[in-house]
Every structure is written in structure tokens, then in C-alpha cells.
Structure 1
Amino acid sequence: MELPAVSRLPQLLLLLLMTLRLSAGDCPCSDAALCRPIRQRPDFEVFIFDVGQKTWKSYDWSQITTVAVFGKYDPELMCYAHSKGARVVLKGDVSLKDIIDPTFRASWIAQKVNLAKIQYMDGINIDIEQEVNCSSPEYEALTALVRETTERFHREIEGSQVTFDVAWSPKNIDKRCYNYTGIAGACDFLFVMSYDEQSQIWSECIAAANAPYNQTLAGYIDYIKMGISPNKLVMGIPWYGYDYICLNISEDDICTIAKVPFRGAPCSDAAGRQVPYKLIMKQVNSSVSGSQWDEDQQAPYYNYKDPAGRFHQVWYDNPQSISLKAAYVKNYGLRGIGMWNANCLDYSEDTLAREQTKAMWGALKPWL
């Protein structure tokens, strides 16, 4: 039976990529050895996400162990990462309703393995953030997908790595009921997205930290209580913040925000907009308040007024707040640390920007 046109697209893309690879020759690196899979397993993982362009040339490669490519594939990046002993992995996303079918799962996994081989990559980071009901077929199918993906990659690409992204807490955040212990056992490790922690606001609709210290750590405590080894957990920290328009701002800096519901919660961080650290650093010193520190949330924020006269409150992470969380990673034996995303810093030649960028990379391992 002929496949529908949409179903044929991934296969046609793979054929095109294979044709291009053959026409361009083999390994795109100056040294063919750089196209071999990375095999060593680091004692400490620094897992970064790259969303494109060429900022990777300025990253701190003395730390990086894995690059998850969420932008356009760049063979130059692959060659350079391999020269530094760092893995480069695919992004894996798929509709959960489709993976209930074992045949579809097998086809999807085969396509990803083939793509990794064509691009000389070292595995896949599965990033599925869709709703799952605890009693649904998707609950079991998702665990099966991770297990089967890991088995196939490990079998066909020596030293390959399969990871899965999870919310900051296992308590069904954003209606994501996943088999966390099963998934952790089925892959190499979990990347815990310890950010967007205001995606569901159940209390007052006010601006708050993207990744409050105590709340962030509570998520890891809950994962570990489930029986997941700390060595299976990599802490993801944000290199971006949220800019909220304040409907009202009190004398003690409480910023009331618009009610934007999300997956059952009356309010959410969707009332704000994400802002990369490089833009925050350009704005904070000219803000109304300058950088302030919230002792309860262990996070910085500032207030500013826009041209229309509205007050905004911006919550973000900086080297101080990140170092606190990184210390937990070290002290409690987590697998490592990483961020969304490495492109958020200012990699220009500006002296102040260089200092700020160096400090953010340094906060990943404040004990060194």
C-alpha cells in the first residue's frame, strides 16, 4: 500500500540527505577521525542546547560534554565538538498519539538512527512536553518509545547517548503524567528542565522567579524519592528570564500580572515573555530599580517603565542564583548540569559582555 504523502516526507528527506552526503564525499571534517562517535563517558555532564547560528564558536568548550542541536544542523559544529570530545545529539519530538502504534515507533526510531549516522552524530535528546493522562495508552507507549530508541541507538552507534527531557518536578506538571522511573531506567539519563516553574500558577497571579531555589530543589528531592538515582539526573538551568507587565505594583515590589490560564491553572508565565540573559544585562542598569535580590526565592529581578508608562518586572537567573543550584548538583551527586540555551549570552568582543558571559559559564562549576 502506498504511504500518504505526509508519511513519505521523512523518508524522502533521509534519501536526499544520503544523496547529498554521497555527492559531497564522506566525512565533512578535516580529520576523518572526527566523524567517529564519541565513546568516553564523562564523570560530570555539562549538557547544552544550541539553537543555531555560530555563537558556538565562543562557548566554553573546556566544560561541554554534550551539545543537543535544536537549530539547523551544522557539520562544522559537529567536527569542532568532536575535536573537544563532546557528543552532538539530535532533537527528538513526535506526536504521542502516533507512538501508540509499535510499527510507527519502529519507523520513527529507524529514521532518527539513520539521520544520526548520516550527520555523524552521537545520539538523541527526546524532548516531548505533551499532555499525558496517567491511564492513557500514551503513558505506556512513551516509556516503550524511550526504551526502544535507547536499544536501537546503543546497538547501531557505539557509545551513543539517549536522553529524555522532564519537567522540574514529577508531580504531573502541565498535565504531563509520565512513567518517570520507567523512562529513567530506559535511557542514559534525564535532563530536568528546572525552569518555566511558573507555567502553572495556582496561588496569586503575581510575577515570580523562573526557577526559585527551594522549589527547584524540591523537584529533585521528589525524583530521588521515587527511586531515581541522582546519577540519572542532569539539572537544567535557565539562561533567560521573564518580562512581566504589572497590572499593579505594590510598595514592596509585588507585581500583579494578567490571568493567562494554562492546562487547568488560572495563571501562568505566559503572561510574560521570555528574554535572553544578554538583553537583560543591557537593560538592568538603566532600569527603575536596578538589580534586586529576593531572599525567599534566591533570585534577582528588576523593575522598569516602558514608553507607554507601564511598569514591568523582570525575573531572571544570574551567576549568584545559578551557583547556589550548581552547588546542590555537586553536593548531592547529580549527573551534571546544563542550560537552555547556550545562545542566550552575549558573545561579542565588548569587555563587559565578555566578563558577564565568562561568569555565567563559570557558575556551572562554582567549586572550581
Structure 2
Amino acid sequence: MEILLSELAKELGGEVVGDGSRTIRGVAPLETADSSQISFFSNRKYKAEFLGTSAGAVIVAGGDAEGEKPASASLLVVRDAYLAFAKASTLFHRQPTYPAGVDPRAAVEADAEIDPSATVMPFAYVGRGVKIGARTVIHAHCAILDGVTVGEDCLLYPGVVVREGCSLGARTIVQPGAVIGGDGFGFAFEPARMRHFKVPQSGTVQVGVDVEIGANTCVDRGTLGDTVIGAGTKIDNLVQLAHNVEIGPLSLLAGATAIAGSTRLGKGVVIGGQVGVIGHLELGDGARVAAASAVFTDIPAGAAYGGVPAIDQKRWLREQAATHQLPELLKELRALRKKVEQLEKER
């Protein structure tokens, strides 16, 4: 694909500073882009790469169009540079398309309902009573077990497992190896027989529209009732959502996060990587948790928390700054102690 920079500006709702007649044939990072490619600049940390780029054009926000500019690149000025770059990149990297229909090497139960425009690839399994919507793509080696509903325009990559009775909303993307609806971790100890008695996990997982679930992420089914992922939520790789967790719409969960059973996240919650959240908590709308934190208490709406245990982020940052001063403070304390001891001897 190729497009004039002026036409790309119209597509993205921006303005060109420089030569709008340049032909753009792709996207690339600032440091490797050539004159036929467009890049973006939104982080001041990369100012040197911005000024030295060989890109034909650079997407910038309004403020970054002022002051120093690259010697040869035109600028495409928009309100949000990263969002505009994402849209530009989408134009140059279209998702592959697949022929509709069920491959004869797939195993499909007789009563499954698969829209004629959907695609089921070789060695996938589609169970009894499954419903698969229009234009959905089920890649090889997926297992869609009994009673599952998959909405229209979904994309399930190889090795995805969706267990009995779960539901995926329209335009859901599930990356390779994810498991939706595995059993929750529920056991009752039986002293008389010295064993952990497995509690049946009779709920399901209900996934809203426009959700993305990362590779090797596990979303457990509810013990009673459902585990719920709200519309527009994006979940990174290697995330664990336990039984009956509820994730509000438009939330973001970074990699290696683990959320224990029955915890509820509100709308637009942002969780950094490697965060652990214990069970039965409430994280309010817009709450944010810094990476590598451990959450043991409810978090109010709009609050930012961090640390182990997670506390108000401003306080946590002050505590971290104070911790780095401890060696010097200890030296001062030892010196003061010696002075006090000397003064006591001189009495």
C-alpha cells in the first residue's frame, strides 16, 4: 500500500507541516525509518532520535511541532500522536483474510451452528450446541467445547480453549494458548479422609464485546455464577483471573497480573505488570495500580496505588525516596550516638 502524506493527514484528522505530496509506503521507528516511511514522536526521551530521523514524515502532537524539527522529515500534526500512529499502522498492516467455511480436517459436532461466513481451520474442535457468529475465525487446534457462544468477527488464534457454556462477545480477540473457562481453584478440606475435596465449578465466563485476551492467559469459570470481563477491556499475556472475578469495561491489565477470586474491578481500571490482588476486594472506577504491587485492600475510585502492600502512590513514592536515604541517615545516627556518649563521659 502507498498513500500521499496529504491524504493520510485527512484520514487521521491532522495537518501537514512540510511536503504533503510525499508518498508514504510504510511505518517504522524513528531510528530506522527511511524517506518512504512515517514514524511518530510522543516521548521527550527520544528527542535525539526525532531530530536525527531519516523518516519521510513524523506524526507529532501540536506542541511537538514547535521548536527544533528534523532536517528532512515533514510533520503530520495531530491531537494524539500515538493514537494517530496506531491508526496509520493499521492502514499498512491489514489483518490477513481467510476463506469462509469449515475445513474437512476440523471436528465439528452435528448440532453446532456455524455462520456460513465464519472460518474453522484444520484440527479445531467445535462441540455440541456451539454457536459461532459471522466472519469469526477459529484457528487450528482450538477447542470450543459444548454450549459455547462466539460472537461475530471474533478471532481465536491457535491453541485457544473455550470451555463449556462460556460466551465471547463480538470482535473478541484471543491470543494463542489462552484458556477461557478452566476450573476455578476451589477445594474444601475433608479431615476425616485427609483430602482436599474439589468444589464443582458450575459457573461460566462471560466476555463482552471488543475484548482482547493475551497469550497463555487463564480466565477461570465461576464457582457459582459467572466470571465477567467487560466490553473493551484489554488483557495482556500470562494473566490469571480467578473464579467470579469481575472486570469492568475499558480496563487494562498488564502481563503476569493475578487477581484472586470474587474481586471486582470497576470501569477503566489500569493494572501494571506483575500485580497481585487478593480476593473479595473492590477496585473503583479509574483506579490505577503500579507494576509489581500487591493489593490487600479496596482501592477507591480514581486512586493511584503502588507498593507491597499497595498504598496511596504519592505516599509510596515518598517512602521509596526516604528508603534510599537510609545509609546516610544511619551514618548520621552513629555519629550523633558517639557524640552523646562522649558528652555523657565528660559529665
What TM-score do the two structures reach when normalised by structure 2?
0.24
The structure with more helix, counted as a fraction of residues = 1
**As a proportion of its length, which structure holds more strand?**
2
- Which structure carries more relative contact order (alpha carbon 8 Å, separation 6+)? 1
TM-score by length of 1: 0.23
Q: Which protein shows a greater Rg?
A: 2
